[in-house]
Chain A
Amino acid sequence: MNTKDTSGDVRLSGISKTYDNGFTAVQPLDLTVPQGSFFALLGASGCGKTTTLRMIAGLEEPSSGTVHLGDQEVTNLPPYKRPVNTVFQSYALFPHLDIFENVAFGLRRRGIKSVKQQVVDMLDLVQLGEQARKKPHQLSGGQQQRVAVARALINHPKVLLLDEPLGALDLKLRRQMQLELKRIQTEVGITFVHVTHDQEEAMTMADTVAVMNAGRVEQLGSPSDLYENPNTTFVANFLGTSNLIEAEVDSKSGDDIVLKAGGGKLVLPEARCSAPTTTGGKVLVGVRPEKITLTPADDAGEIPAGRNRITGKIADSSFIGVSTQYVIDSPVCPEFEVYAQNIDRDSRLRPGADVVLHWNPAHTFGLDAAQDIDAGVDTEEEAA
């Protein structure tokens, strides 16, 4: 890719939005979305992600700060003068126009006379060539969604903004459209800014994800980076599931920190700790459920040395096909979640069994203990 081209960059500097009623939807925010990337703004409803998107589109006026597209400042430009297009949450297709005219709308407004070939090509790209003369209400949800994408993309915007574009689709169609949108983005090479509350959707599609909470960006990074190394409890809980343990810094050995939790000791690589670590200070230790191995207490001797260990009792287990999810009652954490692949199932791992939980210390992450340990838990369900 031509990394020098910055004409499709989106640069937000100190942008914020406070409504007339005093509610601050977006706190001052700096964000740069590089040209050609697929960028996702992820957060629960009311976190300010849609407001941020609308400020880029020009549909909302920022209370402070500036918006740049490439080298052009667009902060005070009305939407119809900005080289961006939006795919709206409910598609907002024009009900009185047929599919062809819906897609041609942007071209016609810019005074382009011969739109036919372009519209036909675009409808072919989204596989709707046959439906050109139908009205929007005659199409299914997934087809309407593709019309909305085609209607925006045909204008070759520098940036395509997608506001929860898949929210109204059922799960199976949503998965299909995720791949479809990703394919289109790769094909056209336009910068996509995608707003969603579905963490799986954000991780599947985006190169870079910004997790937003209460008008702020909590953390920004690639999906794997955010998942493996969250910096806040909100990110840890909102993206997938995390087991968080309150621990106390005991000592440091080399690049590792040794912590005391319950009766035992845990090792945490210092590079993976986003909190200050002074001896005696509190740290939240986190580990993802799928990194953990369960071993019956009887076989504890077989666990290799150098792994973090916690003891507990299986409180509940549910079989979900590819894996089994266990809830472990442990002295350091009352509801410790463990996901085990169903490869060789040990019949002794039943509710009530005493077990040892162990994992590679490299999968441990450390968070500042001064945060709400439950931040971001269940917000996803509320939004959905």
Chain B
Amino acid sequence: MAAVTEAPPLAPAPEKKPPRKRGRWTPYWLLLPGILWLIVFFALPMIYQGSTSIQTGSLEDGYKVTWHFSTYWDAVSEYWPQFVRSGLYAAAATILCLLLGYPLAYLIAFRAGRWRNLIMILVIAPFFTSFLIRTLAWKTILADSGPVVSALNTLHVLDVTNWLGWTSGDRVLATPLAVVCGLTYNFLPFMVLPLYTSLERIDGRLHEAAGDLYAKPFTTFRKVTFPLSMPGVVSGTLLTFIPAAGDYVNAELLGSTDTRMIGNVIQTQFLRILDYPTAAALSFVLMAAILAMVTIYIRKSGTEDLV
């Protein structure tokens, strides 16, 4: 028995190897690539934009940092309607995406069987075409003399949307409805993919267990499936809402001057009016607004531990 307990020393005794001194800096060296990445792609642009937003001057004389914070106040007080409109359009598009995307994701996750991969490819397929071309296609789809508008007209749907203020006259194009449709279409995959991922992760036996415990199919959905898919709902709505709120292509191509979103304002300020401080200030305000809304949303949905 004694022979068993006396094992040969596998590692050299610790005192033979003094701890190396350079070990102290090793963690920082290992962090370096990440820190560099953050500096180049995040910190520098932010600092640059930040300094731009508090500059004054003109194109001819050049811009100087004058800590002119009132640019923010001027920008917000002038363009708050576009801010509100962006929020509303993005929210409407997000809700529509959720209503359309959830059944689709549910179908792919639980019912599609061997068609699953094919449907997933179809969901992603629009990405193979340019964003602009897809949005332009909607211009044709919603054209005044097109089949969609005449069908909506015949069914008197346009009377309802006119009354709601979403459309005007016999047109869909150049109305809020067209912009929201475009946003919904363009961001739908960003809703479907996270929803699918979280639905697909749900153990099928939980559905069986719920049924076994007297839950009817709809109750099973309400009490088990939907709560368990909340991480997907939260990340899907965020992935849809955030880019939709800053989008300007849909409002540009499908909307009119009455449907301008904050993205359009920023784009015009940067590229046409060349008022860089106002454009930068608007960008920062948009970012702060979205950040605040997202924080409140995640808190409210109570899914911090699920995300």
Contact = CB atoms under 8 A, between A and B. Distances in A.
Contact of B219 (A81, A109, A155): A109
B205 A94 contact: no
Interface string A370-383: 00000000000000
B216 interface: yes
B147 interface: no
Nearest to A79: B211
A179 interface: no
Nearest to B216: A80
> Does more than half of chain B's interface fall in helix, strand or loop, or is it mixed?
helix
The 7 closest A-B pairs by CB, nearest first: A106-B213, A92-B209, A109-B214, A92-B205, A79-B211, A96-B227, A86-B212
Contacts of B223: 105, 109
Given A79-B208, A90-B205, A109-B219, A95 B214 contact: no
B112 interface: no
Task: Give chain B's interface residue range (CB within 8 Å of chain A).
Answer: 10 to 19
A81 B216 CA distance: 9
B75 interface: no
Nearest to B219: A109
Nearest to B209: A92
19 contacts: A57-B212, A58-B211, A58-B212, A80-B211, A80-B213, A80-B214, A80-B215, A85-B212, A86-B209, A86-B212, A88-B205, A90-B205, A92-B203, A94-B224, A105-B210, A105-B213, A105-B215, A106-B213, A152-B213
Interface in A60-108: 78-81, 84-86, 88-90, 92-96, 105-106
Given A86-B209, A92-B203, 12 more contacts: A58-B212, A59-B211, A59-B212, A80-B215, A85-B213, A86-B212, A92-B205, A92-B208, A93-B209, A96-B228, A109-B219, A155-B214
A59 B227 contact: no
Contacts of B124: none
Contacts of A106: 213-214
B213 A59 contact: no
A151 interface: yes
Interface of B: 203, 205-206, 208-216, 219, 223-224, 227-228, 306
Task: Give chain A's interface residue range (CB within 8 Å of chain B).
Answer: 20 to 34
A109 B217 CA distance: 12
A4 interface: no
Contacts of A85: 212-213
B228 to A, nearest CB: 6
A110 B209 CA distance: 15
Contacts of B224: 94, 96
A79 B306 CA distance: 30
B215 A88 contact: no
A78 B227 contact: no
